[in-house]
A and B are shown apart, each in its own frame.
Chain A
Amino acid sequence: MSVQTPVKPTTERQVSSPYQRRMYLRRRIISTFHMAMSHVVTFLGVAVLAWILWSLFGQGFSALSIKLFTEMTPPPGSDGGLLNAIFGSLMMVGIATVLGIPIGLLVGTYLAEYGRYAKISAVVRFINDILLSAPSILIGLFVYELVVVPMGHFSGYAGAIALAVIALPVVVRTSEDMLLLVPDTLREAAAALGIPRWRVILQVSYRSAGPGLMTGALLAVARISGETAPLLFTSLNNQFWSTNMNQPMANLPVVIFNFAMSPYDDWRSLAWAGALLITLAVLGLTIAARTLLAAKSRMKG
C-alpha cells in the first residue's frame, strides 16, 4: 500500500513516464477498490437494517389489534392483549423517570457549574461514563441484591429502581454537556447583577439550556423503555392486572422475551406486536429529542 517513490506534482509530462503511470494506476486501483468496498458495506448495512425493520413492521402490524390495549396477557392458546404489560411498563418507566432525571440533572449541574474545575469532577465524569456503558444485566443483579432480597419478593418498585439507575448516567452526561453550552458571559452578566449562584443556575443556565435538558431526559426515557435485562429479576412478570407496585409486575420487555421464547404461535405474535410498540415508542422519543435539539440550534443560528 505504501508509496515508495515520492510522487511529483502531476504535470502531463511527468505522469507520462511509464513507471509513474503504472504507479499512479496502482494507487488509483487500490483507492477505487477501497471506496467500492465502502459502498458495498454501506449497502449491506442499510439492507440488513431494512430487513430487520421490514420483518418487525410486517409481523408487528399484522398482530396489532385493539385487543392489545384492552385485554390482559393470555394463557397459551387463548385470546388476549398486552394491557397489563403496557400499564406496568408505563408505571415503571414513569417512576424511574421521576427518580432518575432530577438526580441526574443535579449531578450534571454540579459537574457543569459548581464543580466544573474540581478534581473530584473528573472522577465523577469517569465513573459516570463507566456506568453509562455498564452491562444493564449487572444493574439488574445489583438491584436484585439491594431491593429484592431484603424485601423477599420481586416487585414493580425494584424494576423502577433498576431503570432509574440506568437512566441516571444518561441524564448526567447530557445535562452536563448541555449546561456547558450555555455561554459563560450570560452567567457573568447575571452574577454582576448580584444574583446568587443558585438563581443564576435556575434562571439563566437551566432556562437557556432548557431544550437541551429536555432532549437528555427524552433520550434517557427512550433508553430505559426498551431495557429488558435488568427487569428479568427485579419486577419479574405478572400474568394478571396489577397496579400494586409492591408486587411482581408485568412489563412489555419481559413479556416479549417470555412470549417470543415460547412454542405457542399466538404468544409469539403478541411478542411481535409488543416489539413493534416498544420500537415505535423508542423511535418516537428519539425523534422528539432530535427535533427539540434541532429547533434549539436553529434558534441560535
Chain B
Amino acid sequence: MSVKQFRPGFDRGFHNLTFGLSMFVLLLLVAILAFLVMGSLPVLKSQGLSFFISSDWNPVTDVYGALPAIIQTLITAIIALVIGVPVSFGIAVFLTELAPVWVARPVGVAIEMLAAIPSIIYGMWGLFVFAPTFGTVIQRWTMANLAPIPVIGPVFASPPMGIGILTAGIILAIMIVPFITAMMRDVFTTVPAVLKESAYGLGCTRWEVVHRIVLPYCRAGTVGAVMLGLGRALGETMAVTFVIGNSHRLSASIMGPGATISSSIANEFVEADSKLHSSALVTLGLTLFVITFIVLAVARLFLLRLKKQSGH
C-alpha cells in the first residue's frame, strides 16, 4: 500500500459513520421512552395517578385502572420464576456436573434450539394442548381438594377452564427454562476445574461442590441469568395472551382468568376506538418499560460484574 493511497478523510468519515450510528442506538432508546411518555399523557391527565391504583378497567365508560394488569403481570412472572429457576438450575447442574459428554452435548444443543423457538408456538401449544389437560386433570383436583380449605382455598377456586393466571405462569416457566438453563450452564462452565477438584479431594460430595463451590463462584452470573429470565417473563406477550383469558378483574384466585400488561396491549390496542383507551394501553406499556428496564439494568450490572471477575 503506497502512502499516496492513504486518505485520512475517508478514514475519518468511516469513523464518524460508525460513531453516528452508535449514537443512533442511544437515540432509539430515548425515542422509545419519549413516544411512550407522549402517548400516555392523555390518560394521565384525565385520571392522574389513580390510573395506577384503580382496579376498574372499563372501555365502555372510558375509565381505566391498571392495577389488575400490573399485579397479574408480576404474579405470572413470579410463578414462572418459582417453577422455572429450580428446574433450570437442576438441568444446568445435570449438564455441567453429572451428564457424560455424549448426553450433555445433544441435550445442551436441544436446549439452545428450544430457546430459539418463537413464543407464539409456546402460546399455541399452551392453548390447544396444555390448557385442556391442565383443566381436566390438575384443576379438577385442586377444585375438589384445595378450594374448600378455609384460608388458602380461594386462591385455587375457579371453574376448571384450563386457562388462567396459573396456566400463563406455567407456560412462561416452560418458555424461560431453556433460556435460563443455557445461560446458567455457560456460567457454571467458567468455574475452574482446580477449585472443584480440590473440594472433591477434601471429600466433598457432589452437592457440596455445587452448593459451596460452584454457586458462590457463579453468584453474579446466576443472579444475572435469573433476572434476564424475569425480564423475559414480564414482557412476554404471545405465550401469555393465548392462555390468560384476558379479563381485567382483580381476583384472589390464581386459577381464574386475568390479563397482563402485554396481553392487554396485544388484545385491545387495534380495537381501541377512544383516544383514552389507546392512551391507557400505551401507559400500561410505559409501566412495563419502566419495570423491565429496572430488572434488565440490574441483570446487566450483575453480568458486568461477572465479566470483570473473569477478566482477572
Interface residues in chain A, defined as those with a beta carbon under 8 Å from any beta carbon in chain B: 1, 3, 7, 9-10, 27-28, 30-31, 33-35, 37-42, 44-46, 48-49, 51-52, 55-56, 59, 103, 106-107, 109-111, 113-115, 120-121, 123-124, 126-131, 133-139, 141-142, 144-146, 165, 168-169, 172, 193-199, 201, 222-223, 225-229, 232-233, 236, 253, 256-257, 260-261, 268, 271-272, 275, 278-279, 282-283, 286-287, 290
Q: Which residues of A contact B288 (CB under 8 A)?
A: 135, 137-138
10 shortest A-B CB distances, which residue pairs?
A226-B118, A135-B235, A31-B205, A41-B90, A110-B18, A31-B207, A229-B237, A198-B14, A34-B207, A145-B35
B 1-30 binary contact with A (CB < 8 Å = 1; else 0): 101011110110011011101111110110
- Interface size class on chain B is 35 or more
Write the chain A residue with the least CB distance to B6. A196
> A41 to B125, Cβ gap below 8 A?
no
Of B11, B22, B202, the residue contacting A124 (CB under 8 A) is B22
Q: Which residues of B contact A144 (CB under 8 A)?
A: 269
A40 to B94, CA, bound (A): 10
User: Which residues in window 29-72 of B have CB below 8 A to A?
Assistant: 29, 31-32, 35-36, 38-39
Of B120, B121, B282, the residue contacting A141 (CB under 8 A) is B282
Q: Which residues of A contact B117 (CB under 8 A)?
A: 226, 279, 282-283
Q: Which residues of B contact A51 (CB under 8 A)?
A: 129
> B21 to A107, Cβ gap below 8 A?
yes
> A282 to B98, Cβ gap below 8 A?
no
CB distance from A224 to the nearest CB of B (A): 10
> B87 to A283, Cβ gap below 8 A?
no
Q: A49-B178, A195-B1, A236-B270 are in contact. Are A56 and B235 (CB under 8 A)?
A: no
A sample of 13 cross-chain residue pairs with beta-carbon separation below 8 angstroms, ordered by A number, consists of A10-B203, A35-B207, A38-B98, A49-B110, A56-B121, A103-B21, A106-B17, A107-B22, A114-B15, A142-B32, A196-B10, A196-B11, A253-B120
Q: Which residues of A contact B97 (CB under 8 A)?
A: 38
A31 to B211, CA, bound (A): 10
A226 to B207, CA, bound (A): 39
